[in-house]
Structure 1
Amino acid sequence: MSATTPIRWGLRANLPQFLLLVAVNALVGAMVGQERTVVPLLAEQVFAVGAFTASLTFIVVFGFTKAFTNLAAGSLSDRYGRKPVLIAGWLIGLPVPLLLIWAPSWGWVIAANVLLGVNQGLTWSTTIVMKIDLAGPARRGLAMGFNEAAGYLAVATMGWATGALAAAHGLRPAPFLLGVAVAALGLGLSTALVRETHQHARHEAAHHVSRAGGHGHGLTNREIFTLTSFRERALSAASQAGMVNNLNDGLAWGLYPILFATSGLGLTRVGVLIALYPAVWGLGQMITGALSDRWGRKWLITAGMFTQAIGIALVAAGTGFTVWAVAAVLMGAGTALVYPTLLAVVGDVAHPAWRARAVGVYRLWRDSGYAVGALVAGITADLLGLRAAVWVVAVITAGSGVVVAVRMYETRHPE
């Protein structure tokens, strides 16, 4: 965009670039989706990783790496621009499917997930910030709904596709060849077609009026971290809810395939169940993001956390494909209520001058939930069994909903 081109907010004014970023984020989600069905089974069937805690190390490493990369991504995108960070994320992600194909030991899978965590932290964080830049204040929920829907529909599609390929051709290499194509396409689109959006954030900052009691633009990184994590009521409530939400996803990613497979389901049906949860999650966000712009954020998030808790409890209490399919739908619906709405809360409250860094801090907490969930679920499963681990996570999720109901205030800007 040239210096003389007027900067305009809104989805309609920026539709071609917005849709391109939606497509790019779908490719980002597909990079994670290639692992969802196959890697937990690789741990058990190929590398003979016995203990649940040990088999979930790939999620722990992924979660912590992605979490801290999210934090760095916000500062880097403010300093150097959004597009260079996006391209760097794709370059780092290119080797991931190749490492998974060629891995002679479980350590290679761990190394691949370090790179995947960096890839996801840089690319997903940046596409979020770029869409918030383009959308402007009035349609942040809708923008985040489309962003997260694209990403998690791709997670679901890739989880189903890799499960089907694994059932037909084995766990390696066929499922991960899709990942090679995804990484190459993501890098090509980001390099050739994506445009910088940082100027939109600067323009908004110049015209921004902080809410009463709000915080202006002159904050240090430490102050932004403290506000987002602890001091600011809505931001801190969002951070803990995001962490618990991804704690749930870490459980579903690491233990659900093993629970379903050891209960007698075939690999194809396991793949369907693993895909169903993010599919409902992804589709639902196209509705819930827009609803949060109309109805507000707080009570959608509260309802979503309780709905997830019910779905997780049904996995623990039930058995069989039909019961678990209902549970997956409930988990997906609850996550759809929460996921774009939490990001919209951060966009509502944070000043445009430090919004990218606030998104990074929020996503630090949110994505550390993968690691925390893998550790909590793995240790509990080793000590008390798979179903006990699922029950523990259900209780944690319900508690998080209570925190949102008590601590968060409504953040939606009036029309």
Structure 2
Amino acid sequence: MNGATSSLRPSLAQPCDLRLGLRANLAQFSLLVAVNALVGGMLGQERTVLPLLADRTFHLSAYTAALTYIVAFGATKAVTNFFAGTLSDRFGRKPVLVAGWLIALPVPLLLIWAPSWGWVVFANVLLGVNQGLAWSTTVIMKIDLVGPARRGLAMGLNEAAGYGALAATAMATGAIAAHWGLRPQPFFLGIAYAAFGLGLSVLAVCETREHARAEAALHRTPANPDHRSELATRQVTRAVSLTDRALSSASWAGMVNNLNDALAWGVFPLLFAAHGLSVARIGLLAALYPAVWGLGQILTGWWSDRIGRKHLITAGMLVQAAAIVLVAVGGTFPLWALAQVLLGAGTAMVYPTLLAVIGDVAHPAWRARAVGVYRLWRDGGFAVGAVLAGALADAYGLTAAIWAVAALTAASGLVVALRMYETRPQE
């Protein structure tokens, strides 16, 4: 049986054929792209509908209270990311991926039947676990498969699939909600995504942990002792969080990136609704930003393999800041649409490139844990952003919250420019 056929019909623990490279693993890589699209779709079912449910169905008047679901999602996902890396090193990638999909199954049902806002918050706790386990694992598995040469492209394709599906689902749920109402029809998509994601993960995805071990055997001994193969989890955590200038700068930039994504998710729809936009138009704006972000990552991930990581990240953060300012000063649909396009373009420059930095620097023996720590910080930005934006919006109004996040985003870009070193492998 050839490698392409066997990679599509593995048992629960069967490893993929042990070859490194995108072309050598194209069938399994493509399957993981499809699985991650379903992971993104699970998140996309909420982007348009949940802020409006908080306002129109549950009548939450305080912005801080209305954004509690993002706090619950972000905090849970951040912690789960950390454990996803450790668990995938210990037990393998595939069991962690399957566990993530099992936890996703009740999420759309809870959103459909929720009699109180607490049910919605609990659904987002489960969604955070799903995203932390499933998305982290697909990232790790793709890095395992492709090896060092095309890491930026691999991350661009992975994130493009996830956020492209998020955008398409956000637009679809907005159109469904405009026609049939906020519940239950928009969440039927989530039921289908969870079923397909679990089925593909159990029946078709194969184990990739041995690919990381094979790459580790070929890995050069690093000059920096902080990058050697024998690192305890606490040492990995310290390097990614504080001591390594590239890894820790990436963690800070990732946190701020998702801080402004929390703003786009939770605050922008409320601002648009306050200016009288229809649900369908709000859904279009909610989809435009992740659509540009998702599709753009195919180009920017490849581009970072050619020109390097640092300057692309710096430029992307500054473009994001400019886009957020345009949301604050704009008051019409065309201006907000332009802002969403710019925000998506800036995020596309940043998102896969940050993951590529982690893959560049981290030794294959502890790379999964490094990805987990990075994603702990990055997705903690959802919780920080929701709390910060909600508190500022309650105290000073929605526009003040948007200006504050724009300033933080610009500052993050300058930190990367001054502190991060270039990590792209030299050919």
Bin of the TM-score, shorter chain as denominator length? over 0.9
Residue equivalent to 2:369:
357
Structure 1 distance, partners of 2:70, 2:215, is 37
1:114 alignment partner, one of 122, 125, 137: 125
Residue equivalent to 2:264:
252
**Which amino acid in structure 1 is aligned with residue 344 of structure 2?**
G
Report the CA distance between 1:353 and its aligned residue.
0.3
In structure 2, the CA distance between the partners of 1:5 and 1:229, relative to structure 1 (3 Å rule), is closer
- CA deviation profile, 1:368-395 (whole Å, cap 9, x unmatched): 0000000110000000000110000000
Structure 2 distance, partners of 1:174, 1:77, is 35
**Which amino acid in structure 2 is aligned with residue 14 of structure 1?**
N
RMSD of the TM alignment (CA)?
1.2
**Paired residue total:** 415
* Pairing of 1:173-252 with structure 2 (within 5 A): 173-214=184-225, 215-252=227-264
Structure 1 distance, partners of 2:304, 2:28, is 23
Residue equivalent to 1:406:
418
Structure 2 distance, partners of 1:141, 1:315, is 30
Q: Contact 1:33 / 1:158 at 8 angstroms: preserved in 2?
A: yes
Residue equivalent to 1:344:
356
Residue equivalent to 1:370:
382
2:171 alignment partner, one of 152, 160, 175: 160
Structure 2 distance, partners of 1:304, 1:274, is 20
Structure 2 distance, partners of 1:143, 1:337, is 14
Structure 2 distance, partners of 1:209, 1:320, is 55
Report the CA distance between 1:264 and its aligned residue.
1.1
| 1:326 counterpart = 2:326 | no
- CA deviation profile, 1:149-169 (whole Å, cap 9, x unmatched): 000001100000000000000
Report the CA distance between 1:212 and its aligned residue.
2.7
Q: Contact 1:91 / 1:187 at 8 angstroms: preserved in 2?
A: yes
| 1:85 counterpart = 2:108 | no
- CA deviation profile, 1:316-363 (whole Å, cap 9, x unmatched): 011110000000011000000000000000000000000000000000
Report the CA distance between 1:213 and its aligned residue.
1.7
Structure 1 distance, partners of 2:122, 2:169, is 21
Structure 2 distance, partners of 1:213, 1:226, is 15
Identity %: 68
Structure 1 distance, partners of 2:305, 2:189, is 36
Report the CA distance between 1:211 and its aligned residue.
3.6
In structure 2, the CA distance between the partners of 1:315 and 1:6, relative to structure 1 (3 Å rule), is closer
Report the CA distance between 1:81 and its aligned residue.
0.2
Structure 1 distance, partners of 2:276, 2:120, is 26
Residue equivalent to 1:297:
309
Q: Secondary structure at the match of 1:194?
A: coil
Structure 2 distance, partners of 1:223, 1:319, is 48
Q: Secondary structure at the match of 1:311?
A: helix
1:103 alignment partner, one of 105, 114, 121: 114
Report the CA distance between 1:5 and its aligned residue.
8.5
Residue equivalent to 1:272:
284
Residue equivalent to 2:3:
none
In structure 2, the CA distance between the partners of 1:50 and 1:212, relative to structure 1 (3 Å rule), is same
Stretches of structure 2 lacking an aligned partner (at least 5 in a row): 1-6
Structure 2 distance, partners of 1:267, 1:106, is 21
Structure 2 distance, partners of 1:140, 1:273, is 31
Residue equivalent to 1:53:
64
Q: Secondary structure at the match of 1:138?
A: coil
Residue equivalent to 2:80:
69
Structure 2 distance, partners of 1:53, 1:24, is 33
Q: Secondary structure at the match of 1:34?
A: helix
Structure 1 distance, partners of 2:222, 2:300, is 24
Q: Contact 1:210 / 1:351 at 8 angstroms: preserved in 2?
A: no
In structure 2, the CA distance between the partners of 1:273 and 1:220, relative to structure 1 (3 Å rule), is same
Q: Secondary structure at the match of 1:414?
A: coil
Structure 1 distance, partners of 2:297, 2:73, is 24
| 1:123 counterpart = 2:146 | no
Q: Secondary structure at the match of 1:362?
A: helix
Report the CA distance between 1:234 and its aligned residue.
0.1
Report the CA distance between 1:210 and its aligned residue.
3.7
Residue equivalent to 2:44:
33
Stretches of structure 1 lacking an aligned partner (at least 5 in a row): none
Report the CA distance between 1:4 and its aligned residue.
11
Q: Contact 2:16 / 2:207 at 8 angstroms: preserved in 1?
A: no
Structure 1 distance, partners of 2:298, 2:274, is 34
What TM-score comes out, normalization by structure 2 length? 0.96
